[in-house]
Amino acid sequence: MRPFLFLCLVMAVAGMDGHNVQLSQAQKDKVHQYTMQCIKESGVKPDIISEAKKGHFTDDEGLKKFTLCFFQKSGIVDSHGKLNVEAALAKLPPGINKVDAMKLLEECKKKTGKDAADTAFEVFKCYSRGTKTHILV
């Protein structure tokens, strides 16, 4: 299975003109590693991930747990699912407008849920819906 495009859906933020940027090989390797670990830990079904990659989000506990797991391993959320804007900005590759990214990150940081996994998932959806720049793995 192709890696879950975490950075494509989550860290790809707010380019005004809508374009794509590439991850380094080291970043791609980390995405794959975290993906495999978090699929195993969360029990999320591959078809749920496939739909999320297309922007179709289901209220699935496995997907929420996967999102929290991936964000925690990436160091961009705390144990409560709260976003660390500085950490997220530091992980963005060249080609991302940092000013626009910060605006979207600050807005998405306000999202909350009933628990840590739900909060991380709300942040994930906010990014995915708010971005015009996509990072390709």
Per-residue pLDDT tens for 118-130? 999 999 999 888 8
What does the alpha-carbon distance between residue 88 and residue 77 come to, in Å, rounded to a whole number? 9
Confidence category of residue 2, pLDDT binned at 50, 70, 90: very low
Q: 71 versus 132: which is more confidently predicted? A: 71
How confident is the model at residue 130, as a pLDDT?
Answer: 84
**Number of neighbouring beta carbons within 10 Å of residue 46:** 11
Is residue 107 in some structural domain?
yes
Residue 18 has pLDDT above 60, yes or no: no
**What is the residue-averaged pLDDT of the chain?**
82
Is residue 1 in some structural domain?
no
- Put simply, whether the predicted model's pTM sits higher than 0.85 gets the answer no
Total number of domains constituting the chain: 1
**Number of neighbouring beta carbons within 10 Å of residue 44:** 22
Is residue 28 in some structural domain?
yes
Is residue 114 in some structural domain?
yes
Is residue 27 in some structural domain?
yes
What does the angle CA 51 – CA 54 – CA 60 come to, to the nearest 5 degrees?
35
How confident is the model at residue 7, as a pLDDT?
Answer: 44
**Domain containing 126: what range?**
6-136
What sign for the dihedral angle of Cα 50, 51, 52, 55?
Answer: positive
CATH number at residue 111: 1.10.238.20
Mean pLDDT of the region 31-50: 92
